[in-house]
Structure 1
Amino acid sequence: MSFTKLSVSTLAVMAVSATAAAARDEIRIVGSSTVFPYTQAVAEQFANNTGAPSPIVESTGTGGGMKIFCGGIGEQHPDITGASRAMKASEYELCQQNGVTEVTEALIGFDGLSLAVSRSNDFDWDLSLGEIYLALAAQVPVDGEWKDNPYKMWNEIREDLPAVEILAYGPPPTSGTRDAFVELAMHAGCEELDYVKEGGFDGDWIGENCSRMRTDGPFVEAGENDNLIVQRLEADANAMGIFGYSFLYENLDKLKGVKIEGVEPSTDTIADKSYPVSRPLYFYVKNAHRGVIPNLNEFIEEYMSDDALEAGGYLAERGLVALAEDRRMELQDAVLNGSSMAAPTN
């Protein structure tokens, strides 16, 4: 593989940091808890294929990872950060201020979170994000006040929904899936409520008041074993499960997806963003560390391999919704050749 020549400014920084950077044998990666399992899978594959030390992958969160990543160049700073959103302009500026002047952005695929029920459930489920919030949140508006959630039955959320108890099995707080569900479904659903829209509450208020799942029975933390959720949905046709789309796809003989805002979860609707509970996933490479940190280029090649990124690749088996072939090829070319990203405008 060929790599684009680095700029004079980057080479100057490398001259100062190369000795320190070369002292570290392991690749160091930080960032999003949602991207973490994909990067960890690549790290394991890379180590198995090459015999090189397995990269150190830390789940620091997207924002925390950006702060650490943009802290500078040298062995004390990570080489890559994962992100469940694009880099912000303020983060890019932090990188620039600290000498991290050339960064490659890689949109690796998409993440979709699904609600599902047993195929023996004959109701045609279609919920809005606001209705999902009202069913599963710890606190909701009741008669003009913000109170503990009183709703027990689905037909209390919307009268044409079944007169059955609300019961949803979902991931624990330690799971990246839980973090993503809170951000993409619960926060967005809370924003749909008239109480919130008319009250003029901002993002900080929503983050503080709309993030907790209820603990009084209708939402049950089912641990990290999605197979257990499938078993429970098979045992109770009225129960719902929350997990990554790939797991629903693997169990379509037993389960069916719940529409959200009229859109069924699928690889197509997740990829084109029409399915509301989906988002792009990224990682960012510090180009000044290429060719300095041992095996970094080779690790990036593994991450960009067809084996990893194709629709039938090993990352898809872990839940990543793959890019279309033309977009994947553009990604591979840009990342392998070290193309530096432009400054974000957000």
Structure 2
Amino acid sequence: MKNTLIAGLALGTALALVGHAGAQSRDQIQIVGSSTVFPYTQAVVEQFANESGMAAPVLESTGTGGGMQIFCGGVGAQTPDITGASRAMTESEWELCKTNGVTNVTEILLGYDALSLASARSGADLSVTKAQLFQALAGEVEVDGEIVPNPYENWSQIDSSLPDQPILVYGPPPTSGTRDAWVELVMEEGCEAFPAIEALEDDRKEEVCQRMRTDGPFVEAGENDNLIVQRLTSDDNAVGIFGYSFLFENQDTLKGAAIDGVQPSEETVASGEYAVSRPLFIYIKNDHRQAIPGLEEFVAEYVSDEALATGGYLEERGLVPLSEEELKKVQETATAGTAMENPS
């Protein structure tokens, strides 16, 4: 890619960029971050390129945590302009950003997604509680009042109502926001059902409730959720954890599992009945807005009614949209480039 010296910037932006050694401009927007946000951003990339005739942004799926590390690495053309996140930026990530001079950042709430547990349509139906999922996936569990290494190898060993098949769950690695959300919304809540775990001291309880098993039944499958989808369609025993959008896009070959008696759907996620949902975000480096061609226009496309509103093309991809009032606030924030003061 041909690089040219930054010129014609507003003074504040120029100072911010030139203050970093070797900062040069480029002709393509660079975006990193969450694998869950990836398909939504990809749709905006396609729409932007088709409508504007400008170069399509370069989009990389790095996971939420990995994207934050890269995004917060500094200001300048050697760093990305936007990162996607399936959770809000953490305080430690914000401190990293500030340490590296990334202090002018706009946080955009896109809408809502759910965590889904899915399998091939040809596989067994699965309806599980959060407590049963904890028993299936935790490194340590409670058995007869004792905390022991997880002994469960089959779903039916946990409860006779569950399928008599091996526990084989493909899921995200620790760098993924999906993993963070799964631990918070499923594992930590599921472990509350077990008195011996609840009685542990705080640090030990946190360790038991959060640590996923590493003995085989849970497999870290990387940041590419499409690879999980491929594995599910080739193995009827396999189950996958990913954002609802991937289940939505692959519902011809996959089916969702009910969690606590509720199936994932746009309606149950929007209503809150399906209690494994989370907000999705993008973060924009405002010091790049005037330096990188098309960045302002791309942000405008991302928050447009055509993309984010009810009936927009991102809802068609599985995003649960914001209310009209929420969307209006988001659009005003994005247009003004309002800088966040602290993480949400």
Could you state the TM-score of these two structures normalised by the residue count of structure 2? Answer: 0.74
Residues 191-237 of structure 1 show CA distances to partners (whole Å, capped at 9, x for unaligned) of 65434332235387358x73237635x9998973748857977xx9x
User: CA–CA distance in 2 between the matches of 1:146 and 1:272?
Assistant: 38
3-state SS of 2:331 partner: helix
Deviation at 1:79, TM superposition (A): 1.2
Q: Aligned residue for 1:316? A: 315
Deviates more, 1:331-340 or 1:63-72: 63-72
In the alignment, which residue of structure 2 is the partner of 1:275?
A: 274
Larger deviation, residues 67-76 vs 251-260: 251-260
What is the aligned length? 326
Mapped pair 1:127 → 2:128: yes
8 Å contact from structure 2 (residues 106, 334) kept in 1: yes
Residue of structure 2 in register with 1:224 after alignment: 227
Q: Are the counterparts in 2 of residues 149 and 214 from structure 1 also a CA contact under 8 Å?
A: no
Q: What are the Cα deviations for residues 158-209 of structure 1, in whole angstroms up to 9, with x where unaligned?
A: 46x35x41456754657969746753434543465434332235387358x7
Corresponding residue for residue 200 of structure 2? 199
**Which whole-Å CA distance do the structure 1 matches of 2:306 and 2:77 have between them?**
30
- The answer for the alignment partner of 1:304 in structure 2 is 303
Please tell me the residue identity of whatever aligns with 1:152: N
Q: Partner of 2:109 in structure 1? A: 107
Between the aligned residues of both structures, percent identity stands at 45
Measure, in 2, the Cα distance between the counterparts of 1:179 and 1:78: 23
Kindly report the root-mean-square deviation, in angstroms, between the aligned alpha carbons of the 2 structures: 4.1
Match runs of 1:155-170 below 5 Å: 156-158=157-159, 161=161, 164-166=163-165
Task: Please give the secondary structure, in 1, of the residue aligned with 2:307.
Answer: helix
Partner of 1:59: 61
Q: Alpha carbons of 1:286 and 1:153: their partners in 2 closer, same or farther (altered >3 Å)? A: closer
1:41 maps to amino acid: A
Following superposition, the deviation at residue 281 of structure 1 comes to 0.8
| Cα-to-partner distance string for 1:99-133 (whole Å, 9 max, x where unaligned) | 3332211010112123468999999x753212112
Residue 338 in structure 1 maps to residue 325 in structure 2: no
Gaps of 5+ in 1: 1-9
Q: Tell me which residue corresponds to 2:6.
A: none
CA separation in 1, counterparts of 2:323 and 2:276? 19
Between stretches 324-333 and 109-118, larger displacement belongs to 109-118
Shift of 1:289: 1.2
Secondary structure class of the residue paired with 2:108: strand
Comparing 26-35 with 270-279, greater Cα deviation is found at: 270-279
Unaligned runs of 5+ in 2: 1-8
Deviation digits for residues 43-73 of structure 1 (CA, Å, limit 9, x no counterpart): 2332233332222223333233223323332
Superposition map of 1:155-194 within 5 A: 156-158=157-159, 161=161, 164-166=163-165, 171=170, 173=172, 179=179, 182-183=182-183, 184-186=185-187, 188-190=189-191, 192-194=193-195
- 1:244-302 residue CA offsets vs partner (Å, 9 max, x unmatched): 43465678899875443354433244235453321111111111211221110111122
Task: Report whether the alignment pairs 1:69 with 2:44.
Answer: no
Distance in 2 (CA, whole Å) between partners of 1:215 and 1:134 is: 14
Stretch moving more, 76-85 or 64-73? 64-73
Equivalent residue, structure 2, for 1:245: 244
